[in-house]
Amino acid sequence: MPTESIHPETLVLHAGTYRADPATTAVAVPIYQTTSYQFHSTEHAANLFALKELGNVYTRIMNPTQAVLEERVAALEGGVAALALASGQSASLFAVQNICHAGDNFVCSTDIYGGTWNLFQNTLATMGIECRFVDPADPENFRRASDFKTRCYYGETLPNPKLAVFPIAEVSKIGREYGIPLIMDNTACPVLCQPIKHGAAITMHSTTKYIGGHGTSIGGVIVDGGNFDWEKNADRFPMLNKPDPSYHGAIWTQAVKPLGPIAYILKARVTLLRDVGAAMSPFNAFMFIQGLETLPLRIRQHCSNANAVAAYLSKHPKITRVIFPGLMEGNAKLRADTYLRGGYGGLLGFELKGGRDSGRKFIDALKMFYHVANIGDARSLAIHPASTTHSQLTPEEQLKTGVTEGYVRLSIGIEHQEDIIADLDQALAIA
Ligand SMILES: *Cc1c(COP(=O)(O)O)cnc(C)c1O
């Protein structure tokens, strides 16, 4: 099915090669709960291992249920192929590690998820990969931090808690001058933004959040935009352009030629996923396929509810500041309107006059909102980041990511907006 002119609502149900199960004609995607796959012959087996033919070998590396999810997410994001993984964290790790090794560096936005910050700042450092954090408010900061060992740029489309939309086209344009690809974490705004259309080379999602949508499963996915010339910048990407000793000397940009512009994502699958084993279970892949089918519908409801909540909070006397893309000014508002289409997402933050104490009282007084470390659930969620999601960061690091003592983050669900506002209203009366 050609995906260019087809709308997201349709793509999430129909994109890709799956129409019905070839063995049974079942319409719902089966959970192929198997580790291995019968080879037709010794020649077939040899071809699969040599990547002369693509096909199923072992579920650590690929699985038919995962494959349906991968094709649909790739289509939704406007990319050419995807790789499903065990978590968003493994997706962030693989996205960078696929092109960076010891001695290399990459430049990353300071406005990112706390878990990503730790992974990049601390764990990757132990592997000899240097993450250079820069403030994305000025895209030129990415240029200033780059050198000949810089392998990629990394940003988050709609990063919480600041909720200042990342300058995707601006940074990807700077990167392309030097042959540096932009990797975007698009977790917080699927459907609303397709970073690949704005020049990003790679996107990733924690499918745990909006794609799953029901808070049931942990997963991640990386999408290859197929729009970056890894060969033209061969010196920057030895891992894609020099013989790979872990795969009988394959040169990935050459090996994939007959299969399309998928060198990056194929290498991630057949080397990193093969070696590290962060595979998504077939059951979780099935859960994400269910979530994906209603994603555009839910996103609409998340957005319209969040708009209503933002309007309510901005008039409340106990609140000093509401952080919401739709209420921003200047460059931040311009970026929100350029990159988010159809709504400003379901995330929202605010600061209470009463600071930390008030924030805690508010959270404890909520009756319908869940108090959890998650976003993107169908249910409304609230959290106090300074004492939870961002608590492993130093106070200076917390401030850099936009977390203040009195900040409360809301992930607005798909309940009726009057019920959401009623719960906020009674909790604010107590705060
Ligand atoms: C949750 C999250 C992650 C990490 O995903 P997990 O599935 O929890 O491993 C990465 N990026 C963002 C923006 C997230 O919200």
How much is the pLDDT for 398? Answer: 78
pLDDT tens per residue across span 43-77: 999 998 888 888 999 999 999 999 999 999 999 99
For residue 10, the number of C-alpha atoms closer than 13 Å in the C-beta half-sphere is 7
With 0-12 CB in 10 A as exposed, 13-18 as middle and 19+ as buried, what is 417? middle
CA max distance for the chain:
74
How much is the pLDDT for 33? Answer: 98
How much is the pLDDT for 93? Answer: 98
Q: How many A from CA of 321 to the centre of ligand 1?
A: 26
Q: Sign (positive/negative) of CA torsion 370, 374, 378, 382?
A: positive
How much is the pLDDT for 1? Answer: 52
pLDDT tens per residue across span 311-343: 999 999 999 999 999 999 999 999 999 999 999
Is-contact 305 346, C-beta < 8 A?
yes
Q: Which residues contact 24 (CB under 8 A, 6 or more apart)?
A: 30
Phi, psi of 82, deg, nearest 5: -140, 165
With 0-12 CB in 10 A as exposed, 13-18 as middle and 19+ as buried, what is 405? middle
What is the atom index within ligand 1 of the atom nearest the CA of 188?
13
CA angle 31/38/60 to nearest 5° reads 55
Query: Of 207, 208, 222, which is best to mutate to test ligand 1, by the most ligand atoms within 8 angstroms of its C-beta?
Result: 208
Neighbour tally for 88: CB within 10 Å: 23
Query: Of 163, 187, 374, which is best to mutate to test ligand 1, by the most ligand atoms within 8 angstroms of its C-beta?
Result: 187
3-state secondary structure of 159: coil
Q: Which amino acid is at 181?
A: P
How much is the pLDDT for 389? Answer: 77
How much is the pLDDT for 2? Answer: 56
Q: How many A from CA of 205 to the centre of ligand 1?
A: 7
How much is the pLDDT for 49? Answer: 86
Q: Which residues contact 354 (CB under 8 A, 6 or more apart)?
A: 318, 361, 406, 431
Is-contact 165 340, C-beta < 8 A?
yes
In this structure, the strands spanning 130-134 and 182-185 are unpaired
What is the atom index within ligand 1 of the atom nearest the CA of 376?
15
Nearest CA to ligand 1 atom 5: 88
Query: Of 113, 202, 214, 281, which is best to mutate to test ligand 1, by the most ligand atoms within 8 angstroms of its C-beta?
Result: 113
Spell out which residues line ligand 1, taking CB within 6 angstroms: 87-89, 92, 113, 115-116, 156, 185, 187-188, 206, 208-209, 218, 220, 375
Q: How many A from CA of 421 to the centre of ligand 1?
A: 27
How much is the pLDDT for 341? Answer: 95
pLDDT tens per residue across span 334-392: 999 999 999 999 999 999 998 888 888 999 999 999 999 899 999 999 998 877 877 77
Quick one: DSSP state of residue 101?
A: -
Alpha-carbon distance of 94 to 364, in angstroms, equals 38
What is the atom index within ligand 1 of the atom nearest the CA of 374?
1
Q: Which residues, given as ranges, of the chain have pLDDT below 50?
A: none
Q: How many A from CA of 201 to the centre of ligand 1?
A: 19
Query: Of 90, 184, 206, which is best to mutate to test ligand 1, by the most ligand atoms within 8 angstroms of its C-beta?
Result: 206
In this structure, the strands spanning 220-224 and 182-185 are unpaired
Is-contact 380 415, C-beta < 8 A?
yes
The token pair that represents 76 in the structure block:
């939704």
Nearest CA to ligand 1 atom 1: 206
For residue 39, the number of C-alpha atoms closer than 13 Å in the C-beta half-sphere is 13
What is the atom index within ligand 1 of the atom nearest the CA of 90?
9
For residue 279, the number of C-alpha atoms closer than 13 Å in the C-beta half-sphere is 22
Nearest CA to ligand 1 atom 2: 206
